[in-house]
Amino acid sequence: MRYDLCLPWYWEYDDVFVGMVERASIKEGISLWQVTPDNLLESITALYKDVTTFKTLLNRGQGEPTFVPISRWAREHGVRRINPGEVSAWSEDKTTMHYEFIHAGLNTPHTIVLASFLDQPLLSLIDLTPLGRNFVIKPSNGGGGEGVIIGANSLEEVLRARMEFPEQKYLLQSYITPQCVSGKIAWFRVFYAHGETYPCWWATDTHIYQIVTAEEEARFGLDRLRDITRRIASICKLDWFSTEIALADDFVVVDYVNDEIDTRVQSRAMDGVPDEIVNNIARQLVKIAKENL
Protein backbone atom coordinates (compact mmCIF):
# COMPACT_ATOMS: atom_id res chain seq x y z
CA MET A 1 0.00 0.00 0.00
CA ARG A 2 1.36 3.40 -0.97
CA TYR A 3 -0.02 6.52 0.69
CA ASP A 4 0.35 10.08 -0.53
CA LEU A 5 0.65 11.64 2.95
CA CYS A 6 1.76 10.13 6.26
CA LEU A 7 0.71 11.92 9.46
CA PRO A 8 2.19 10.51 12.69
CA TRP A 9 0.62 12.08 15.78
CA TYR A 10 0.04 11.32 19.45
CA TRP A 11 -0.90 14.57 21.23
CA GLU A 12 -4.59 14.44 22.12
CA TYR A 13 -5.05 18.16 21.38
CA ASP A 14 -3.95 17.63 17.77
CA ASP A 15 -7.25 15.86 17.07
CA VAL A 16 -9.04 18.87 15.53
CA PHE A 17 -6.04 19.72 13.35
CA VAL A 18 -5.79 16.09 12.21
CA GLY A 19 -9.48 16.16 11.31
CA MET A 20 -8.86 19.26 9.22
CA VAL A 21 -5.95 17.56 7.44
CA GLU A 22 -8.16 14.54 6.80
CA ARG A 23 -10.95 16.63 5.26
CA ALA A 24 -8.48 18.59 3.15
CA SER A 25 -6.94 15.32 1.93
CA ILE A 26 -10.33 14.00 0.86
CA LYS A 27 -11.05 17.26 -0.96
CA GLU A 28 -7.70 17.14 -2.78
CA GLY A 29 -8.11 13.45 -3.58
CA ILE A 30 -4.98 12.24 -1.78
CA SER A 31 -4.64 9.24 0.53
CA LEU A 32 -3.81 9.88 4.19
CA TRP A 33 -2.09 7.44 6.54
CA GLN A 34 -2.48 8.31 10.20
CA VAL A 35 0.04 6.73 12.55
CA THR A 36 -0.90 6.89 16.23
CA PRO A 37 0.28 5.08 19.37
CA ASP A 38 -2.49 2.52 18.73
CA ASN A 39 -1.04 1.37 15.39
CA LEU A 40 2.55 2.53 15.74
CA LEU A 41 4.28 -0.87 15.98
CA GLU A 42 2.29 -2.34 13.10
CA SER A 43 2.91 0.77 10.99
CA ILE A 44 6.67 0.82 11.52
CA THR A 45 6.84 -2.93 10.82
CA ALA A 46 4.91 -2.48 7.55
CA LEU A 47 7.09 0.47 6.61
CA TYR A 48 10.40 -1.29 7.14
CA LYS A 49 9.17 -4.45 5.38
CA ASP A 50 8.12 -2.36 2.35
CA VAL A 51 4.53 -3.44 2.79
CA THR A 52 3.44 0.19 3.19
CA THR A 53 5.17 3.36 1.96
CA PHE A 54 4.35 7.05 1.58
CA LYS A 55 5.43 10.02 -0.53
CA THR A 56 5.14 12.98 1.89
CA LEU A 57 5.61 13.18 5.67
CA LEU A 58 3.80 15.62 7.95
CA ASN A 59 5.32 14.72 11.28
CA ARG A 60 3.49 15.56 14.50
CA GLY A 61 5.33 12.82 16.37
CA GLN A 62 8.27 15.04 17.37
CA GLY A 63 9.38 14.59 20.95
CA GLU A 64 8.27 10.97 21.18
CA PRO A 65 11.26 8.63 20.61
CA THR A 66 9.15 5.70 19.45
CA PHE A 67 8.06 7.73 16.40
CA VAL A 68 11.66 8.42 15.29
CA PRO A 69 11.89 5.37 12.95
CA ILE A 70 9.23 6.95 10.73
CA SER A 71 11.13 10.18 10.18
CA ARG A 72 14.37 8.21 9.78
CA TRP A 73 12.79 6.03 7.08
CA ALA A 74 11.52 9.13 5.31
CA ARG A 75 14.97 10.73 5.33
CA GLU A 76 16.72 7.59 4.15
CA HIS A 77 14.24 7.07 1.32
CA GLY A 78 14.32 10.65 0.14
CA VAL A 79 10.61 11.32 0.49
CA ARG A 80 9.24 14.86 0.80
CA ARG A 81 9.38 15.88 4.45
CA ILE A 82 7.41 18.90 5.63
CA ASN A 83 9.76 20.81 7.97
CA PRO A 84 12.66 18.32 7.80
CA GLY A 85 14.24 17.71 11.20
CA GLU A 86 17.67 19.04 10.25
CA VAL A 87 16.14 22.26 8.87
CA SER A 88 14.03 22.67 12.00
CA ALA A 89 17.07 22.24 14.24
CA TRP A 90 18.99 24.87 12.26
CA SER A 91 16.15 27.39 12.21
CA GLU A 92 15.27 26.95 15.88
CA ASP A 93 18.72 28.16 16.93
CA LYS A 94 18.02 31.77 17.90
CA THR A 95 21.69 32.71 17.65
CA THR A 96 21.90 31.46 14.06
CA MET A 97 18.64 33.13 13.10
CA HIS A 98 19.70 36.39 14.75
CA TYR A 99 22.76 36.68 12.52
CA GLU A 100 20.82 35.52 9.45
CA PHE A 101 18.13 38.15 10.07
CA ILE A 102 20.68 40.91 10.61
CA HIS A 103 22.42 39.94 7.37
CA ALA A 104 19.04 40.04 5.57
CA GLY A 105 18.26 43.52 6.91
CA LEU A 106 15.45 42.52 9.27
CA ASN A 107 14.99 44.55 12.44
CA THR A 108 15.71 42.66 15.66
CA PRO A 109 16.15 43.84 19.27
CA HIS A 110 19.63 45.00 20.25
CA THR A 111 21.29 41.72 21.20
CA ILE A 112 24.35 40.45 23.02
CA VAL A 113 25.19 36.78 22.34
CA LEU A 114 26.93 34.85 25.10
CA ALA A 115 28.83 31.57 24.85
CA SER A 116 27.37 28.62 26.71
CA PHE A 117 28.27 28.11 30.36
CA LEU A 118 30.03 24.85 29.48
CA ASP A 119 32.16 26.53 26.81
CA GLN A 120 32.92 29.62 28.86
CA PRO A 121 32.11 29.27 32.59
CA LEU A 122 33.51 32.72 33.39
CA LEU A 123 32.42 35.73 31.39
CA SER A 124 34.53 38.77 30.67
CA LEU A 125 33.08 42.10 31.69
CA ILE A 126 29.81 42.77 29.81
CA ASP A 127 28.47 46.26 29.18
CA LEU A 128 24.72 45.86 29.63
CA THR A 129 24.02 49.57 29.15
CA PRO A 130 23.02 49.32 25.45
CA LEU A 131 20.23 46.90 26.43
CA GLY A 132 18.42 49.54 28.48
CA ARG A 133 17.09 49.42 32.02
CA ASN A 134 15.31 46.09 31.53
CA PHE A 135 16.17 43.34 29.09
CA VAL A 136 15.27 39.78 28.12
CA ILE A 137 17.41 36.67 28.68
CA LYS A 138 16.84 33.77 26.27
CA PRO A 139 18.51 30.38 25.80
CA SER A 140 19.44 29.94 22.16
CA ASN A 141 17.38 26.80 21.64
CA GLY A 142 14.54 27.26 24.09
CA GLY A 143 10.95 26.84 22.97
CA GLY A 144 7.57 27.82 24.37
CA GLY A 145 9.13 30.48 26.58
CA GLU A 146 11.15 27.89 28.50
CA GLY A 147 14.10 29.52 30.23
CA VAL A 148 13.15 33.04 29.09
CA ILE A 149 13.47 35.81 31.68
CA ILE A 150 11.66 39.06 30.91
CA GLY A 151 12.52 42.24 32.77
CA ALA A 152 16.04 41.27 33.87
CA ASN A 153 18.25 44.14 34.97
CA SER A 154 21.45 42.76 36.46
CA LEU A 155 24.55 40.79 35.57
CA GLU A 156 23.79 38.42 38.47
CA GLU A 157 20.57 37.35 36.73
CA VAL A 158 22.51 36.68 33.54
CA LEU A 159 25.13 34.56 35.31
CA ARG A 160 22.51 32.43 37.06
CA ALA A 161 20.34 32.07 33.97
CA ARG A 162 23.22 30.58 31.95
CA MET A 163 23.34 27.65 34.36
CA GLU A 164 19.74 26.57 33.66
CA PHE A 165 20.68 25.32 30.20
CA PRO A 166 24.49 25.19 30.51
CA GLU A 167 25.03 23.64 27.06
CA GLN A 168 23.25 26.46 25.23
CA LYS A 169 24.33 29.90 24.10
CA TYR A 170 22.30 32.77 25.53
CA LEU A 171 20.91 35.93 24.01
CA LEU A 172 20.48 39.15 25.97
CA GLN A 173 18.00 41.37 24.17
CA SER A 174 16.57 44.82 24.69
CA TYR A 175 12.99 44.78 25.93
CA ILE A 176 10.72 46.02 23.14
CA THR A 177 7.85 48.28 24.16
CA PRO A 178 5.22 48.12 21.43
CA GLN A 179 2.94 50.90 20.32
CA CYS A 180 -0.77 50.97 21.04
CA VAL A 181 -2.71 50.86 17.78
CA SER A 182 -6.45 51.48 17.81
CA GLY A 183 -6.60 50.45 21.46
CA LYS A 184 -4.58 47.26 20.93
CA ILE A 185 -1.00 46.49 21.91
CA ALA A 186 0.88 46.13 18.62
CA TRP A 187 2.36 42.70 19.28
CA PHE A 188 1.69 40.09 16.63
CA ARG A 189 2.14 36.40 15.96
CA VAL A 190 2.15 35.58 12.26
CA PHE A 191 1.65 32.07 10.95
CA TYR A 192 3.19 30.91 7.69
CA ALA A 193 2.24 27.83 5.69
CA HIS A 194 3.50 27.01 2.18
CA GLY A 195 3.57 30.57 0.88
CA GLU A 196 0.56 31.94 2.77
CA THR A 197 0.70 34.21 5.82
CA TYR A 198 -1.84 34.66 8.61
CA PRO A 199 -1.20 37.63 10.94
CA CYS A 200 -2.80 37.86 14.39
CA TRP A 201 -2.78 40.32 17.24
CA TRP A 202 -1.32 38.38 20.17
CA ALA A 203 -1.67 39.36 23.82
CA THR A 204 1.59 38.51 25.59
CA ASP A 205 -0.14 38.24 28.98
CA THR A 206 -3.17 36.09 28.08
CA HIS A 207 -1.85 34.57 24.81
CA ILE A 208 -5.21 35.28 23.19
CA TYR A 209 -5.28 35.73 19.42
CA GLN A 210 -7.31 38.07 17.23
CA ILE A 211 -7.04 37.85 13.46
CA VAL A 212 -5.71 41.04 11.87
CA THR A 213 -8.46 42.20 9.52
CA ALA A 214 -7.95 43.42 5.96
CA GLU A 215 -9.18 46.84 7.07
CA GLU A 216 -6.58 46.97 9.85
CA GLU A 217 -3.84 45.94 7.44
CA ALA A 218 -4.73 48.76 5.09
CA ARG A 219 -5.39 51.40 7.74
CA PHE A 220 -2.31 50.82 9.91
CA GLY A 221 0.19 49.49 7.37
CA LEU A 222 0.08 46.03 8.92
CA ASP A 223 0.48 44.38 5.53
CA ARG A 224 4.20 44.67 6.24
CA LEU A 225 3.73 41.76 8.67
CA ARG A 226 3.19 39.52 5.66
CA ASP A 227 6.25 40.84 3.84
CA ILE A 228 8.48 40.35 6.88
CA THR A 229 7.17 36.84 7.45
CA ARG A 230 7.79 35.85 3.83
CA ARG A 231 11.35 37.15 4.16
CA ILE A 232 11.76 35.00 7.26
CA ALA A 233 10.44 32.00 5.31
CA SER A 234 13.05 32.58 2.61
CA ILE A 235 15.73 32.48 5.31
CA CYS A 236 14.61 29.59 7.52
CA LYS A 237 13.39 27.35 4.62
CA LEU A 238 10.55 25.88 6.70
CA ASP A 239 7.20 24.91 5.18
CA TRP A 240 5.25 26.16 8.17
CA PHE A 241 6.11 28.12 11.30
CA SER A 242 5.12 31.14 13.37
CA THR A 243 7.03 34.27 14.29
CA GLU A 244 6.48 37.16 16.70
CA ILE A 245 6.72 40.73 15.48
CA ALA A 246 6.17 43.92 17.48
CA LEU A 247 5.56 47.45 16.22
CA ALA A 248 7.68 49.92 18.20
CA ASP A 249 9.30 52.78 16.25
CA ASP A 250 9.32 50.26 13.41
CA PHE A 251 8.47 46.58 13.05
CA VAL A 252 10.86 44.39 15.08
CA VAL A 253 11.07 40.59 14.94
CA VAL A 254 11.10 39.68 18.63
CA ASP A 255 10.81 35.88 18.56
CA TYR A 256 12.34 34.50 15.44
CA VAL A 257 11.06 31.08 14.34
CA ASN A 258 8.75 28.60 16.07
CA ASP A 259 8.18 25.48 14.01
CA GLU A 260 6.39 23.21 16.48
CA ILE A 261 3.12 25.11 16.26
CA ASP A 262 0.52 24.59 18.96
CA THR A 263 -2.48 23.50 16.87
CA ARG A 264 -5.08 23.78 19.62
CA VAL A 265 -8.00 25.73 18.19
CA GLN A 266 -9.65 28.77 19.74
CA SER A 267 -13.06 27.11 19.81
CA ARG A 268 -11.65 24.52 22.22
CA ALA A 269 -9.10 26.57 24.20
CA MET A 270 -9.15 30.27 25.05
CA ASP A 271 -5.49 30.68 24.06
CA GLY A 272 -5.76 28.47 20.99
CA VAL A 273 -5.12 29.54 17.40
CA PRO A 274 -8.21 30.82 15.54
CA ASP A 275 -9.95 27.85 13.91
CA GLU A 276 -9.95 29.53 10.51
CA ILE A 277 -6.17 29.84 10.53
CA VAL A 278 -5.55 26.25 11.64
CA ASN A 279 -7.89 25.05 8.90
CA ASN A 280 -6.08 27.15 6.29
CA ILE A 281 -2.73 25.80 7.49
CA ALA A 282 -4.02 22.24 7.16
CA ARG A 283 -5.13 22.95 3.60
CA GLN A 284 -1.77 24.46 2.68
CA LEU A 285 0.15 21.48 4.07
CA VAL A 286 -2.05 19.05 2.17
CA LYS A 287 -1.30 21.06 -0.99
CA ILE A 288 2.38 20.21 -0.47
CA ALA A 289 1.50 16.50 -0.60
CA LYS A 290 -0.72 17.07 -3.64
CA GLU A 291 2.10 18.86 -5.47
CA ASN A 292 4.41 15.93 -4.62
CA LEU A 293 2.28 13.29 -6.36
Domains of the chain are: 2-83+287-291 (3.40.50), 84-108+176-258 (3.30.470.20), 110-174 (3.30.1490.20)
* pLDDT tens-digit profile, the chain (293 residues): 999 999 999 999 999 999 999 999 999 999 999 999 999 999 999 999 999 999 999 999 988 999 999 999 999 999 999 999 999 999 999 999 999 999 999 999 999 999 999 999 998 889 999 999 999 999 999 776 788 999 999 999 999 999 999 999 999 999 999 999 999 999 999 999 999 999 999 999 999 999 999 999 999 999 999 999 999 999 999 999 999 999 999 999 999 999 989 999 999 999 999 999 999 999 999 999 999 99
Sign of the dihedral defined by the CA atoms of residues 269, 275, 279, 280, in that order: negative
pLDDT at 124: 83
Q: What is the pLDDT of residue 125?
A: 83
pTM over 0.85: yes
Rounded CA separation 176/126 (Å): 20
Give residue 160's pLDDT. Answer: 95
CA-to-CA dists, residue 42 to 18, 63, 248, angstroms: 20, 20, 53
Closest CA to 265 of 21, 56, 42, 2: 21
CB under 8 Å to 76, separation ≥6 — which residues?
A: none
